[in-house]
Amino acid sequence: MLLLAGLGNPGRAFAGHRHNAGFRAIDAIARVHRTPPFRARFQGLASEIALGRERVLLLKPQTYMNESGRSVGEAARYYKISPPEIVVFHDELDLPLGKVRVKAGGGNAGHNGLNSLSAHLGNDYRRVRIGIGHPGDKALVHSYVLSDFAKDDTPFAEALFEAIAAHVELLADGKDAEFQNKIYRAMEKAGPGKEAV
């Protein structure tokens, strides 16, 4: 079984924030693949689907970003899912909007959601880093991640989440490089948003 977890903060007030890119990726996957309704489980909202040959648990922790590991850890223990079978979708300041990178393990670059996951799971889970761009000044990062995408960038961001959903089966098959390539090509067609330049 594979666990796909999106990181974000629960509640309507946070829904459109850049920091909720992980939730938005999971929501797009659920919409495109017509998953059953999410229900409260593992201190989060969960649904199960099949992607290719894989049974997959979709999870949106409701513990707030900084405690994401509590929810993901609980689900992983319940299903006995090892870290390499966990894929975490999260926002990434160090990538421009529209870029996606997949990696296994590594550092957390100060991302509090990843810090929490690593505390509960170790570092060997896979990460889908969803570029949200950087405000250019470290002092502006907090307000930047906790605000919505710029109006001109919203269609580009939506195209990114749709591309992730359309090609997520490649992640389930372990074809990370092919997944990245498909996203790259899809976003080339979509054209850049202002934050992507």
Residue type, 172: A
pLDDT tens readout for residues 151-188:
989 999 999 999 999 999 999 999 999 999 999 999 99
| 195 pLDDT higher than 50 | no
Q: Is 90 an active-site residue?
A: no
Q: Which domain holds residue 74?
A: 2-196
Question: What pLDDT was estimated at residue 53?
Answer: 86
Number of domains in the chain: 1
Q: In angstroms, rounded to a whole number, what is the distance separating the alpha carbons of residues 23 and 58? A: 10
CATH of residue 51: 3.40.50.1470
The one catalytic residue in 19, 90, 111, 120 is 19
Q: Using 50, 70 and 90 to split pLDDT, how confident is the model at 193?
A: low
pTM: 0.94
pLDDT tens readout for residues 112-148:
899 999 999 999 999 999 999 999 999 999 999 999 9
Q: In angstroms, rounded to a whole number, what is the distance separating the alpha carbons of residues 156 and 159? A: 5
